[in-house]
Amino acid sequence: MLYNFDEIIDRRNTGSLKWHYSDDTIALWVADMDFRAAQPILKTIEQVGQHGVLGYTKPTAALYESIINWHGNRYGLALDKQHILFSPGVIPSLVLMMRIFTEVGDAVLVNDPIYAPFMTKVGDNGRQLILSALKEGEGRYQLDLADIEAKIVAHKVKLFLLCNPHNPGGRVWTVDELESLLLICKKHDVAIVSDEIHQDLTLSGHEFIPFLGLAKDYEHKVVSITSMTKTFNVAGIKGSMIFAKDEALIEKISQQQRLSDEHDLNLFAYEVMRSAYEQGDEWLAQALTYIEANINLVCDFLAQHLPDIRVMRPEASYLIWLDCSAYDQDDQTLYDQLRAARVELSAGIQYGNEGQFKMRLNVACPQALLIEGLNRIHAAFNDIKS
Ligand SMILES: Cc1ncc(COP(=O)(O)O)c(C=O)c1O
């Protein structure tokens, strides 16, 4: 079927995190899409409701098969049922992995900039946060491998938290980059947890590589964590997966999950996950085409009207990283000016020191909304200049 991504659905007063302002501010910030979910997913939710009995539920064989097929067919990642664990969210899994691979006081290495909980959860859990700034080259971020290795050695780092693809920079790390990183981590016995929640939103011309697939002789130290929520825009349902291949590691993770009784998802999450992986591909392909058109629209608009803003074109996902340093205003001032123009973006500073003078723009919305949002951004920056 043909999906209509142009439809504007009012999300205000629904408890939506994104559309929290009750005035007509256009929300182009937090990472969810303003698109209706895929028909098979909505039908599944209806069917579960109509069945009427919502008791304790276990993952079914069909669910495991759908996850195995999705990851095998798309990315060549060979998974068996025993490699798959469930968790309420990718960030809860990130914290769980920190507890598995490190002790209080240990150093954890993270890139800068990065999705904020990568940084905050390290400190919140009594670990030492070490940052390695990404380098900018040819309009995109690159890992600074020399800096990563130096920091691993200097701080006796135990764990590297990788964001693959990267939020907010939109990089889809290449095999070469990932293998180089793996080599360094192996050399210094550093575990790697790869957050791959943006994997399925990889854009044309790029190839997502699941980190676990590269880690053949290092599987006792590597975990991939991912979810259907970002891919299919069902973040309100909550639910995610942990992939690990080493038997002892899997047992350790399961044991930790049993301690807090956090291994089960709810019935809707299991069923949404299954139907998404079984039948969501048509919706996803169309959503990605629409998102790419929106990315082009933003790049063209900014090049024409606000050429002082440097745009980092994403290789995955619908988040565009904007360098506004030419305006020489701190993030809060930029945020406030945009808010005064009734458009909301994410202030870059929350993604780390490297986010200073940057803003993150979410383009996963109907084009008419995006165009109005861009006009308001244009007006706000014109005011800043004057
Ligand atoms: C890189 C990354 N990881 C994790 C999350 C959130 O995952 P969850 O809601 O499953 O905790 C996000 C949400 O934007 C994200 O961008």
pLDDT the model gives residue 383 = 86
pLDDT band at 174, cuts 50/70/90? very high
Question: Is 385 a residue whose pLDDT tops 80?
Answer: no
Residue nearest to atom 14 of ligand 1 (CA): 31
12-22 pLDDT, tens per residue?
Answer: 999 999 999 98
Residue 217 lies in a domain: yes
Give ligand 1 pocket residues (Cβ under 6 A).
31, 89-91, 115, 163, 167, 195, 197, 227, 229, 235, 240
CATH number of the domain to which 291 belongs: 3.90.1150.10
Angstrom CA distances, 14 to 17, 81, 339, 344, stand at 9, 37, 21, 18
Instruction: Check whether residue 230 and residue 290 sit in a common domain.
Output: no
Among 279, 299, 320, which residue terminates a domain? 279
CATH number of the domain to which 163 belongs: 3.40.640.10
CA of 37 from ligand 1 middle (Å) equals: 18
Residue 233 lies in a domain: yes
Percent above pLDDT 90 for the chain: 96
The SS3 call for residue 242 is strand
pLDDT the model gives residue 313 = 97
Residue 243 lies in a domain: yes
Give the pair of three-digit tokens for residue 134.
């990404």
Instruction: Check whether residue 285 and residue 274 sit in a common domain.
Output: no
Matching residue, tokens 């490190």: 102
Instruction: Check whether residue 258 and residue 329 sit in a common domain.
Output: no
161-171 pLDDT, tens per residue?
Answer: 999 999 999 99
53-68 pLDDT, tens per residue?
Answer: 999 999 999 999 999 9
Residue-range definition of the domain harbouring residue 317: 26-39+281-380
State how far the Cα of 179 lies from the Cα of 365, in Å rounded to an integer.
35
| Ligand 1 atom with the shortest distance to the CA of 92 | 11
Give the total number of structural domains in the chain.
Answer: 2
183-216 pLDDT, tens per residue?
Answer: 999 999 999 999 999 999 999 999 999 999 999 9
Angstrom CA distances, 50 to 19, 76, 266, 272, 326, stand at 30, 37, 16, 15, 56
pLDDT the model gives residue 47 = 98
Question: Is 259 a residue whose pLDDT tops 90?
Answer: yes
CA of 241 from ligand 1 middle (Å) equals: 12
pLDDT the model gives residue 386 = 52
Kindly state the average pLDDT of the residues 313-337: 95
Burial of 328 (0-12, 13-18, 19+ CB in 10 A): exposed
| Ligand 1 atom with the shortest distance to the CA of 319 | 16
CA of 213 from ligand 1 middle (Å) equals: 21
Of 85-89, 261-265, 344-348, 361-365, least confident by mean pLDDT is 261-265
Question: Is 357 a residue whose pLDDT tops 90?
Answer: yes
Question: Is 260 a residue whose pLDDT tops 60?
Answer: yes
Instruction: Check whether residue 305 and residue 188 sit in a common domain.
Output: no
Instruction: Check whether residue 110 and residue 253 sit in a common domain.
Output: yes
Residue nearest to atom 13 of ligand 1 (CA): 31
Among 244, 279, 314, which residue terminates a domain? 279
Ligand 1 probe mutation, 167, 226, 262, 320, most atoms within 8 A of CB: 167
| Ligand 1 atom with the shortest distance to the CA of 88 | 10
Instruction: Check whether residue 153 and residue 93 sit in a common domain.
Output: yes
CA of 90 from ligand 1 middle (Å) equals: 6
pLDDT the model gives residue 262 = 87
pLDDT the model gives residue 359 = 97
Average pLDDT, the chain: 97
Instruction: Check whether residue 357 and residue 242 sit in a common domain.
Output: no
State how far the Cα of 298 lies from the Cα of 369, in Å rounded to an integer.
12
Instruction: Check whether residue 112 and residue 204 sit in a common domain.
Output: yes
